[in-house]
Amino acid sequence: AGTPISVHEFLYPLMQGYDSVALKSDLELGGTDQKFNLLVGRALQSEYGQEPQCILTMPLLEGLDGIEKMSKSKNNYIGITDAPNDMFAKLLSISDTMMWKYFTLLSFRPEDEIARLKHETETGRNPKDAKVMLATEITARFYGAAAAQAAEADFALRARGGLPDRIDAVSMAGAPLGIGAILRQAGLAPSTSEALRLVDGHGVRVDGSVVGDRGLKLAAGTYVVQVGKRKFARVTLE
């Protein structure tokens, strides 16, 4: 198709395959997208007089965008070290359709129970009920039932427009200070330019009011600054 192939695209499966030779592995696990590389491992083991390994592939799990496979590099992932509230909220953000793949691949519920739950949602039950069950189960797996229940309560509070119980406090000097610098220094945006893009997208609030002016400067005082639905900081300007 006129697309060049780089040498590293040949070397990568060879190097990965040689891992199986070095380890004399009996079994290698991988995603379905790694099947070729795993088979190269079998071929190399045969060349070195070893018994070819068995391979076990697992389906790929799409990330929060519902399109690309979950990947940290694509920033569409749910991290196992995410705070309970963030993990719970991210799981609730997946689509109603994608939810069932998450159930199948991540839940410990029996398949017949998942099938019954899916049938109930298709015949009138609110899909959010099932999604809350999924989010609660997975959050509890990493942080315990109490943390999962607290995360559910926190999500419900924010959905009603309330503030979370715990908000990180940040102090800054140099008032009056621009909103872009405030968001960056508070850790609510990775850079000033990204902060201003959030302002342009009406994704920033100060004391509950949407910020529409990227040139906004805040005088000395204390403010609750919010980005999206989940990021908050109590900012004191001096």
The domains of the chain, with CATH numbers, are: 8-58 (no CATH), 84-159 (1.10.240.10), 169-237 (3.10.290.10)
Task: Report the C-alpha gap between 87 and 97 in whole angstroms.
Answer: 19
Return the DSSP state at 34.
G
- Global pTM? 0.69
pLDDT-derived band at 1 (thresholds 50, 70, 90) equals: low
pLDDT-derived band at 163 (thresholds 50, 70, 90) equals: confident
DSSP H or E stretch at residue 202: none
Phi and psi at 177, nearest 5°, equal -125, 140
The whole-number pLDDT of residue 53 equals 98
pLDDT at residue 216 tops 90: yes
Tell whether omega for the bond before 176 is within 30 degrees of 0, i.e. cis: yes
